[in-house]
């Protein structure tokens, strides 16, 4: 089997699944990206400002991939060596999440689910 090319498998938005005319690094279309950015400050009152900033950066770098209907996500770690599962409800299997602490992975998942 070969690798899929853009002629047979067009790039789709990770949030709404629409076909992207101009694929972006983060994997989101322009409207979905705008909705996510607008949702950032008011949707995360229980997260610290540096966690919100890291969550937005994670989204801009394309480090969050929906796994199940924009409720469960695969999230890449800071250094890119680990992949965690995070839910929009706040659960995450990263070291901080396993201690029941708030992590920026869960913040990023909540941003995409809320947008």
What does the pLDDT look like over 102-113, one tens digit per residue? Answer: 899 999 988 888
Classify residue 25: in a domain, yes or no. Answer: no
Classify residue 22: in a domain, yes or no. Answer: no
pLDDT of residue 94: 93
Helix, strand, coil % (nearest 5) of the chain? 35, 15, 50
Q: Which domain holds residue 93?
A: 30-114
Classify residue 8: in a domain, yes or no. Answer: no
Classify residue 3: in a domain, yes or no. Answer: no
Tens digits of per-residue pLDDT, 40-76?
667 788 888 899 889 888 888 888 888 877 789 999 9
- At 22, list the tokens: 């101009």
Q: Read off the pTM.
A: 0.74
Classify residue 10: in a domain, yes or no. Answer: no
Classify residue 19: in a domain, yes or no. Answer: no
59 and 108 in contact (C-beta within 8 Å)?
yes
Count the domains in the chain: 1
Classify residue 2: in a domain, yes or no. Answer: no
CA dist., res. 112 & res. 71, Å (int): 9
103 and 64 in contact (C-beta within 8 Å)?
no
Classify residue 90: in a domain, yes or no. Answer: yes
């Amino acid at each position: 089997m070969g690798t899929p090319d853009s002629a047979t498998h067009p790039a789709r938005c990770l949030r709404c699944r629409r076909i992207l005319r101009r694929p972006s690094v983060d994997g989101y279309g322009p409207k979905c990206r705008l909705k996510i950015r607008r949702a950032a400050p008011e949707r995360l009152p229980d997260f610290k400002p540096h966690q919100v900033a890291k969550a937005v950066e994670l989204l801009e770098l394309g480090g969050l991939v929906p796994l199940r209907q924009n409720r469960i996500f695969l999230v890449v770690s800071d250094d890119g060596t680990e992949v965690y599962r995070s839910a929009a409800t706040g659960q995450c299997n990263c070291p901080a999440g396993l201690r029941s602490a708030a992590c920026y992975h869960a913040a990023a998942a909540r941003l995409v689910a809320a947008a």
